[in-house]
Amino acid sequence: MTDTTNAAGAPRGQSAADLVAASLKRRHRKQVWLQAIGIGAISIAFTMLFILVMSLVSTGWQAFTQTHVTLDVYVDPAEVPVERLPRGGFADVAGASLGAMLPDVDMTDRATARSVRNILSNGAQFHLRDLVVADPGLIGRTVTIKVPVSDPFDQLNKGLIDRDTPNEFRRVKNNEIAWFDALQDQGAISKPFNWALFTNADSRFPELAGLKGALVGSFWALLVCFLIAFPLGIGAAIYLEEFAPKNKISDLIEVNINNLAAVPSVVFGLLALAVFIGWFGLPRSAPFVGGLALALMTMPTIIIATRAALKAVPPSIREAALGLGASRQQVVFQHVLPLAMPGILTGTIIGLAQALGETAPLLLIGMNAFITSAASSPFDSATALPTQIFIWADSPERGFVSRTSAAILVLLGFLVMMNGIAIYLRQKFERKW
């Protein structure tokens, strides 16, 4: 190229190709930089996530097992007379049979007997009672039971209590360690999976505390939230997107819905406290009220997701239906909405996942109460997963430390599962028009 009246206005002697070549190096360098920054950002994010999960797993995994002791209990008719059932000296008979397994203990000494009984969880006597009440024929016989040990011994078994700590500073004293080791030598100690974590409700004793109440409470709250937020959110979105005239009022509504999505959730909790509990007199701590508060919070998310999904349906589909003489309502319900459904469901699931992890509004309406049975209706008092974590994190007993982490892992598990479903739906129904 020697043409000096180059159309691109390149300086003499330099062709456009030369200029492009010269700029390539700079452009490549920029691209490399951009990539490096991107990879750096992702690595940092993943490292954080990894640290979070690892720290939870490292403290939480212990809570997924629970130390148990296997006992042969002689149900002494003197202590457990059949006519007094369901009351009886169940703790005493269980303690007596435990004492019989230990060397050199004088069970007639009341203090020693109490110490021996304290190896067992407080729940052991109730387990035994339930067995005997179910079959009073057991009185006078020997039954084998496998019951949790109390929290300090569980901690000892899991190596969380340091045996080298001087006796006077240690929760479990030297003689108790000797007893526990004796039991261990007899093969009476086992550490099975901690089903109680899922089948028990909350308890003051860590070894008995479980998430059932919280899981049930969260289930009711999410159900109420879904039943309210899903139809209302979709209805509002369809109206705004498909039918409402586009004017100042609809603009104002749109802005407000977007603002609503950004309102701190604690505000919805205050609102629920004032309106649902204060005015309407709904019960405190009830998942129904929690669900209402969460629905207020989730609705904007669903409305925004639904509108986006409706917008994404190509206009050619609407035109096709309109051109055939479909009414607007038919276009929306027979064509647009079915095509938008995967997007709507994805948005809804993500909204519900947010609601599942939401704590502040539930604290305000009292879903952080100490409740030892699972709710059987949305109007019973209950906790929810995040508030249960909140309660346990606040409890002084050592056993609750690992249980808190375990509960967080359970919550994270549900969140991952819900988001997984959302991703699956999105990919399964992703369409190419």
Partner 1 sequence: MNDMRKIERDVHMTDLKIKARGVNVHYGETHAIKDVDVDIVDKTVTAFIGPSGCGKSTFLRCLNRMNDTISICRVTGQIEIDGRDINDRAVDPVQLRAQVGMVFQKPNPFPKSIYDNIAYGPRIHGLTKSKAELDEIVEKSLRRGAIWDEVKDRLNDSGTSLSGGQQQRLCIARAIATQPEVLLMDEPCSALDPIATAQVEELIDELRRDYSVVIVTHSMQQAARVSQKTAFFHLGHLVEFNNTGEIFTNPQDSRTESYITGRIG
Binding site for partner 1 (CB under 8 A): 245-246, 314, 316-327, 330, 334-335, 339, 431, 433
DSSP characters for 247-281? SHHHHHHHHHHHHHHHS-HHHHHHHHIIIIIIIS-
Residue closer to partner 1 by CB (options 107, 339) is 339
Q: How far is the CB of 319 from partner 1 (least distance, A)?
A: 6
Q: How far is the CB of 234 from partner 1 (least distance, A)?
A: 20
Edge-first strand listing for the sheet containing 68-74: 142-148, 68-74, 189-190
Residue closer to partner 1 by CB (options 131, 322) is 322
Spatial separation of the C-alpha atoms in residues 379 and 81, rounded to whole Å:
40
Residue closer to partner 1 by CB (options 177, 326) is 326
Residue closer to partner 1 by CB (options 116, 321) is 321
Q: How far is the CB of 318 from partner 1 (least distance, A)?
A: 8
Q: How far is the CB of 423 from partner 1 (least distance, A)?
A: 21
Spatial separation of the C-alpha atoms in residues 260 and 304, rounded to whole Å:
11
Helix (H, G, I), strand (E, B) or coil at 237: helix
Both structure tokens of 320: 């096709």
Residue closer to partner 1 by CB (options 275, 339) is 339
Spatial separation of the C-alpha atoms in residues 198 and 214, rounded to whole Å:
10
Q: How far is the CB of 341 from partner 1 (least distance, A)?
A: 12
| Structural element, H or E, at residue 217 | helix 212-238
CA distances from 56 to 206, 300, 391, 429 (A): 18, 32, 17, 35
Q: How far is the CB of 396 from partner 1 (least distance, A)?
A: 60
Q: How far is the CB of 11 from partner 1 (least distance, A)?
A: 39
| Structural element, H or E, at residue 144 | strand 142-148
Residue closer to partner 1 by CB (options 111, 324) is 324
Spatial separation of the C-alpha atoms in residues 302 and 311, rounded to whole Å:
14
Q: How far is the CB of 307 from partner 1 (least distance, A)?
A: 17
Residue closer to partner 1 by CB (options 313, 410) is 313
Residue closer to partner 1 by CB (options 166, 245) is 245
- Looking at the DSSP assignment, which residues form a beta bridge with residue 120? 149
- 296, 272 contact by CB (below 8 A): yes
- 234, 302 contact by CB (below 8 A): yes
